[in-house]
Amino acid sequence: MSKKKVTIKDVASHAGVSVAAVSYVLNGKAHKVSEETIGTIYESIKALNYIPSISARGLVKNTSELIGVIIPQTEEHKQLVFQNPFYSEMISSIESVVREYGYHIILAGVEKGKSYLDISISRNLDGAIIMGVYPEKLYEECKEADIPIVLIDSYIHDDYFTNVGIDDELGGYLATKHLIDNGHRHIAIVTGMIRRDGVVEKRFLGYKRALQEAGLFYNPDYVFEHSVTFDHGFKAGGHIARNNPDITAVFATADLVAFGVIRGLMENGNSVPQDVSVIGFDDIAWAGMLYPPLTTVKQSIAQKGERAARLLIEQLRSTDKKSTEGTHSLLPLEIVERSTVRKLNG
């Protein structure tokens, strides 16, 4: 019933040559084959519509032409954490560069108990890109996997990994400073969990540095720490509107959260930026599209994904595999002013 698949053998016999010959021309070792046979072989390939099996090749070459992309997932539903467009934008750019080189992306969340190693080994991944922060254990596993790995937005200090990210501390500082420069003195921060070596921690540190530099008091009551979700922002915004009339500005450590804050504020009778100013972080595609257009710290998400992908490919292709290892490349940051921050008088 089902079509028999055409193999290299079929091509060989159709062309009247050996499988080796076919393999040679397929692998660019055509110099080992006469022009003439090359011709007939290509004809046979076309005629039979032959497409090599990547797994079979992988078995012998120990490759898969597969790149694992690990992204965080929600605690509850074990769904990929795509509510945040940040990830989709990045994946999109990663996919388009690795595709240029014939790789495909395998998308996966990492289950709590389950190990990343499993998929890496069983799939024989050629490399991986890991976005976000995970338990220490994951990184240990990764090293064992013994394939090139690039980490996006992680502060793991280990020469094994190539890193790409931004200066999050600076970002936090810039955001807060922008608020301060606009006359704000009571500045809240709403953010995901602040964990060691996470981007959020750095942004938080930047926030504190800006405060300190301006001689402002750091008030723990002004930090709303929970998760990188719209909902958390929404609740925090509501809380601020109802209970913290002194707060005139908030720094949300992700645009997604910022929009939550804004809505929470609005639904509780505050307007943005008249009553309270909001600055976000990321500059997701939606940031400028929505209302009110969000003032935010821009990082080029697509560029980050692209950079990560290119660094990985580079390692994959270089013979020594070590070319970019340990690199920590930082992408630029920039405040983009739209309309959620207002200048305070006095």
Q: Which residues bind DNA (CB under 7 A)?
A: 5, 7-9, 16-24, 26-27, 29, 31-37, 50-53, 56-57, 59-62
Footprint (CB under 8 A) of a second copy, residues 141-200: 144, 146
Q: Which of residues 47-66 bind a second copy (CB under 8 A)?
A: 51-56, 58-59, 64, 66
- What's the rounded Cα separation, in Å, for the pair 40 and 221? 77
- Binding a second copy by CB under 8 A: which of 161, 259, 261, 287? 259
Secondary structure element (H or E) that encloses residue 297, with its range: strand 295-299
Structure tokens, 35: 């022009």
Does position 92 interact with a second copy (CB under 8 A)? The reply is yes
Residue with smaller CB distance to a second copy, 30 or 302: 302
Helix 19-26 with 8-15: angle, nearest 10 deg: 110
Q: How far is CA 180 from the centre of its chain?
A: 30
CB neighbours (10 Å) of residue 245?
12
Taking the complex as a whole, the smallest distance from the CB of residue 32 to DNA amounts, in Å, to 4
Q: Do 309 and 94 touch, CB atoms closer than 8 A?
A: yes
For the bound state, the minimum distance from the C-beta of residue 106 to a second copy, rounded and expressed in Å, comes to: 5
Please say which residue, 47 or 330, places its beta carbon nearer to a second copy.
47
Helix (H) or strand (E) holding 85: helix 85-100
Would you list the DSSP string of 302-346? HHHHHHHHHHHHHHHHSSSS-TTTT-EEEE-EEEE--SS--PPP-
Residues in contact with a second copy, counted by CB under 8 A, come to a total of 60
Classify 59 as helix, strand or coil. helix
CB of 53 to DNA, least distance (A): 3
Whether residue 89 contacts residue 285, with contact meaning beta carbons closer than 8 Å, is answered with yes
Contact 40, 48 (CB under 8 A): no
61 binds, among DNA, a second copy, none (CB under 5 to 8 A by kind): DNA
**Minimum distance from CB of 332 to a second copy (Å)?**
21
- For the record, the structure tokens of 5 come out as 């698949």
Is residue 119 close enough to count as binding a second copy by CB under 8 A? yes
Residues 71-90 binding a second copy (CB under 8 A) are 73, 77-83, 85, 87-89
* In the complex, least distance from residue 57 CB atom to DNA, rounded to whole angstroms: 4
Using DSSP's 3-state secondary structure scheme, residue 264 falls into helix
Q: Which does 118 bind (CB under 5 to 8 A by kind): a second copy, DNA, none?
A: a second copy
The span from the CA of 185 to the CA of 334, in Å, is 22
Nearer to a second copy, 89 or 282 (CB): 89
The residues of the shown chain that bind a second copy, judged by CB under 8 A, are: 2-3, 5, 51-56, 58-59, 64, 66, 73, 77-83, 85, 87-89, 91-93, 95-96, 99, 104-109, 117-119, 121-124, 144, 146, 230, 234, 259-260, 262-263, 266, 285-286, 289-292, 302
